[in-house]
Amino acid sequence: MRALRWRGFWLLVLCLCCGLARAQTTEAWLLWPAGAPDSHDPARAETVRVTPQGEHVLTHVSQPSITPFLPAPGSASGIAVIIVPGGGHSEIWIDHEGYNVARWLQQHGVAAFVLKYRLARERSSTYTVEGTELADTQRAIRLVRSRTVEEHIDVHRIGVMGFSAGGELAALASTRFDQGDPTAVDPINRQSSRPAFQALLYPAIPKDMQLSAQTPPAFLACGEKDRPDISKGLPMLYLALKQADVSAELHVYAGIGHGFGVRASNPAPVSGWPALFLDWLGVLFPNGGTP
């Protein structure tokens, strides 16, 4: 993987200019095609606002889904990542913390799935972070695991990556997993929700995380100038992971604040975090190749 890490750089920069329409290279997969449980206003359309910088921000998600970005079969590593964008649990910043990241991974042989989840903290919401949003994240992991054969994915190489509020969900999914219900009528619910690895980018860190030797390996990154609960909290989480004998890698970028994601305007060295993540995957899965 190390030799391939910059191959897609200029193509990524070009893609960043193409907008939301071209980002969705394939049709989204509904997490619950018959309707998400306990969803309110299911007929209400998602709302999209565009920032002055041209980025797309979503609200009013009632039909949670994942949008797949699949590498060409000949270049597929067998690794898959469910990407959980942030937005304070009140909106979803779907470009720089979602589609841009997914395109980069896709170009480097990693299957990526961008999650749209129901929002607990938008106005009048009855959803919860540790209930509804976590359930959507776990369902996304189970759904990808149920389709590994047709999508050239290794069932043992499915991980989760989250940004900011999405990082909180990725951390929760990595500490509150189960092996699935073998008696479930829905075959997706028979699948395990345990991710093989977690990548937490400037995450909101859950309180009272129950870490153990079964906690998935972690890639951690944030900016030095982020708010203290992240810039100081993430190194503390790294130490807690090591105390629990969990493999982890930590990067704290000097002079960088919150919300860098993948943007063409990111300065070096923080612009290189996806390549470091890819290198880390190469250490985690040294054999490479498709399943």
Residue 25 lies in a domain: yes
The total domain count for the chain is 1
Q: What is the pTM of this model?
A: 0.90
Rounded (5°) CA angle 8-11-16: 120
Residue 290 lies in a domain: no
Residue 263 lies in a domain: yes
- Residuewise pLDDT in 10s, the chain (291 residues): 544 444 444 334 434 444 333 333 579 999 999 999 988 776 678 899 999 999 999 999 999 999 999 999 889 999 999 999 999 999 999 999 999 999 999 999 999 999 999 999 999 899 999 999 999 999 999 999 999 999 999 999 999 999 999 999 999 999 999 999 999 999 999 999 999 999 999 999 999 899 999 999 999 999 999 999 999 999 999 999 999 999 999 999 999 999 999 999 999 999 999 999 999 999 999 976 544
Boundaries of domain holding 85: 2-284
- The b-or-e profile of 43-55 (16+ CB within 10 A means b, else e) is eeeeeeeeeeeeb
d(CA 246, CA 80): 20
Residue 18's pLDDT is: 42
Residue 252 lies in a domain: yes
Average pLDDT of the chain is 91
Do 107 and 31 contact (CB within 8 A), yes or no?
no
Residue 261's pLDDT is: 98
What digits encode the pLDDT tens for the residues 147-198? Answer: 999 999 999 999 999 999 999 999 999 999 999 999 999 999 999 999 999 9
What digits encode the pLDDT tens for the residues 62-80? Answer: 999 999 999 998 899 999 9
At 8, which CATH number? 3.40.50.1820
Residue 108's pLDDT is: 96
